[in-house]
């Protein structure tokens, strides 16, 4: 065998050896790489969760959602009272003028909007309350969950 062919065989063997060694190292070290990435991710989540801005945002958000739900309760009750007053003032709906019917219809639409807004606030509050990384920052004076029925909110 001449020296040129021998050098080519040796070169190919070295390249194959390097590739196999690289592949072996990746297989052996892959679990360590995954564990390192998992630790970095967990550390990032903890840092983000315990960040002062995040803590303040979540604390304020729970307060805002709770107070917003209470405001919607007041809106619902006020609108219901106005609708009752309208019936008391003008009698049976069959006797109402067009203007009174339109006003009542507007109040019904408004009431529906208030009820949907209340439900939306309750859904967000209860969802955030069930999340460990958000619930950490909820004021102990706030309820664990808000009731779906607006009349039950304190």
**What does the domain layout of the chain look like in residue ranges?**
1-49, 60-152
Distance between CA atoms of residues 48 and 33, nearest Å? 23
Nearest to residue 86, comparing CAs of 75, 76, 74, 97? 97
User: In Å, what is the CA distance from 54 to each residue of 42, 49, 60, 69, 118?
Assistant: 16, 6, 10, 22, 25
User: Tens digit of pLDDT for each residue in 113-122?
Assistant: 999 999 999 9
Average pLDDT over residues 102-120: 96
pTM of the model: 0.67
User: Tens digit of pLDDT for each residue in 18-63?
Assistant: 887 877 777 776 666 555 555 555 555 455 555 677 778 888 999 9
């Amino acid at each position: 065998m001449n020296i040129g062919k021998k050098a080519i065989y040796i070169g190919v063997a070295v390249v194959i050896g390097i590739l196999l060694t690289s592949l072996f190292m990746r297989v052996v070290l892959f679990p360590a790489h995954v564990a390192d990435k998992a630790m970095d991710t967990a550390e990032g989540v903890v840092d983000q969760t315990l960040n002062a801005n995040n803590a303040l945002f979540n604390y304020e958000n729970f307060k805002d959602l709770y107070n917003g739900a209470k405001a919607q309760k007041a809106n619902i009750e006020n609108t219901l009272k106005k609708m009752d007053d309208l019936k008391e003032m003008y009698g049976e709906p069959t006797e109402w003028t067009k203007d009174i019917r339109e006003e009542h219809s507007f109040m019904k639409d408004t009431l529906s909007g208030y009820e949907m807004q209340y439900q939306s606030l309750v859904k967000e509050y209860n969802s955030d309350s069930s999340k460990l990384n958000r619930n950490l920052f909820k004021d102990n004076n706030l309820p664990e969950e808000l009731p779906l029925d607006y009349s039950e909110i304190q």
